[in-house]
A and B are shown apart, each in its own frame.
Chain A
């Protein structure tokens, strides 16, 4: 962890809101700059989605003298997931807390990330053992902050409020909230519909209530929802990408800014 400059947790109180999808796109977005070293860690031990989203299913991890080697999607983008350790896609990881914590500890300690500018940690939903463990292990090594993902629905927002309070409880800085699945543009007639109506004001209202930044809103897009790999998304014609990819990447500068601000604060503290 010493060689990792910035650590970002991607959290959500609620499952299925697009944490892993967002993490994968964020990783690719940051790695667009060849000089930025990016790492993506998938600690969703029961439902590791990252290998599939990144087009890395079936990849194996190798051990070397310096630890486990991540699987490199690009020269500057390495991925580690428990998904790589399952021999078959049907394998269930039915572990209780202590064993899961042991695995997470191993991931955080024994993966040979090398020099990394950004480590993005994709987490399982909720406020469970995995979260407590990762925050505990990483707090010692300084987490820059957490990005929280939600959909417009109250059923998601009510869980994300809990997640925000979890962050306060464990003193984890909040970078901001991303509202995913925010509206749908029909590919046929181009008219907008709300598939998940924001009956209680969506993320905007919640962010105002809880005084956390809204980083951006991402519409529903079959290209993303159907899980085209981010790298394939980049190859889609502009018209096909349209709103969604642009909305996604509009969230990224805010995240980078937060990390750099965090870093300069730390440096000021150290030099004072």
Chain B
């Protein structure tokens, strides 16, 4: 059947931000979730679209795993992760019968699902939609960028860790952004050092400085360094609101500052 995209579904979304990384495991989903929580903290209404079809991490991070999705006339109803209904979420994680099922699909089937996710979720009114992507520069990314293009995303946040291996992949991701016309809002360096809770010595577990250097080299803003923080790791495991519950934890100040920079960079007119 011919699918006519419902213009209504994303019409109420003011600003769309993609969170990318060339490398896996650098904290894209973490930063996506924390950015959403931080923006909500400032009073914004936020949606999260988890397009990582093979590894949908977001539901667990927001204690929404196992929730059922329903359909309405305009499409899928996103899941609210909080009582106040200020954060809504759509993830392929909700569609898996069993959480341990592997989604072993080839490109065209994945692309079709992404297209559906982008156009068929009834988000309603949102200030921000944060789109969490899988790592790399592959089918899913191209499908995501193409599907979102008509809605003119605000830009992309690129996440890296400090070490050279990660930075190398991010350079390729920046090339991808350039090639696909996606504006880079900035680079976030995650897992930037660990302060020993016993002796307060800070160790650069994953080397240091790569993210900031990369941002400078590429001429894009450097948004901040997020340190390794076991409370943050634990919050993500347990689906807790780190931004609300752990304001004294090492990662809190920089996460707040990154959200503020996003707010500052948001034009007053919808993008």
Chain A interface residues toward B at CB < 8 A:
13-17, 20, 46-47, 49, 52-53, 89-98, 100, 124-129, 131-132, 153-156, 158-159, 161-166, 169, 184, 186-189, 191, 193-197, 199-200, 220, 222, 225-227
Contact = CB atoms under 8 A, between A and B. Distances in A.
B197 A158 contact: no
B106 A132 contact: yes
B11 interface: no
Contacts of A156: 25
B206 to A, nearest CB: 5
Contacts of A94: 137-138, 141-142, 176, 179
A126 B107 CA distance: 13
Contacts of A90: 171-172, 174-175
Contact of A97 (B26, B107, B199): B107
A112 B175 CA distance: 32
Contacts of B26: 15-16
Nearest to B198: A191
A189 B201 contact: yes
Contacts of B165: 20, 49, 52-53, 227
A241 B155 CA distance: 43
Contacts of A16: 23-26, 135, 161, 166
A166 B197 CA distance: 39
Contact of A163 (B102, B135, B179, B236): B102
Given A16-B26, A97-B107, A193-B198, A153 B207 contact: no
B237 A169 contact: no
A193 B171 contact: no
A220 B205 contact: yes
B134 interface: yes
A173 to B, nearest CB: 17
B135 A162 contact: no
B24 A47 contact: yes
A159 B55 contact: yes
A197 B233 CA distance: 7
Interface of B: 22-26, 29, 54-55, 57, 60-61, 99-104, 106-107, 134-139, 141-142, 161, 163-166, 168-169, 171-176, 179, 194, 196-199, 201, 203-207, 228, 230, 233-234, 236-238
B107 to A, nearest CB: 4
Contacts of B106: 97, 129, 132
Nearest to A100: B138
Nearest to A197: B234
12 contacts: A47-B24, A94-B137, A94-B179, A96-B139, A126-B54, A128-B104, A154-B60, A196-B230, A197-B234, A197-B237, A225-B205, A226-B163
Nearest to B59: A158
Given A46-B22, A46-B138, A191-B199, A184 B237 contact: no
A49 to B, nearest CB: 5
Given A92-B137, A96-B139, A162-B103, 13 more contacts: A14-B24, A46-B169, A92-B176, A124-B136, A125-B25, A129-B107, A164-B100, A184-B203, A191-B196, A193-B197, A199-B237, A226-B163, A227-B165
Contacts of B175: 90-92
A169 B204 contact: no
B137 A46 contact: yes
A47 B179 contact: no
The A interface is mostly helix, strand or loop, or mixed, namely loop
B36 to A, nearest CB: 16
A93 B99 contact: no
- Among the interface residues B163, B166, B196, which one has the most CB atoms of the partner chain A within 10 A? B196
A49 B169 contact: yes
Contacts of A132: 104, 106
B196 A93 contact: no
Contact of B103 (A17, A52, A127, A226): A127
A228 to B, nearest CB: 9
A161 B98 CA distance: 11
Contacts of A89: 168, 171-172
A153 B199 contact: no
B54 to A, nearest CB: 4
Contacts of B228: 195
A90 B100 CA distance: 36
A125 B24 contact: yes
A81 B218 CA distance: 25
A129 B104 CA distance: 8
Contact of B236 (A20, A49, A52, A155): A155
Contacts of B61: 155
A15 B23 contact: yes
Contacts of A153: 233, 236-237
B206 A225 contact: yes
A103 to B, nearest CB: 13
B204 A222 contact: yes
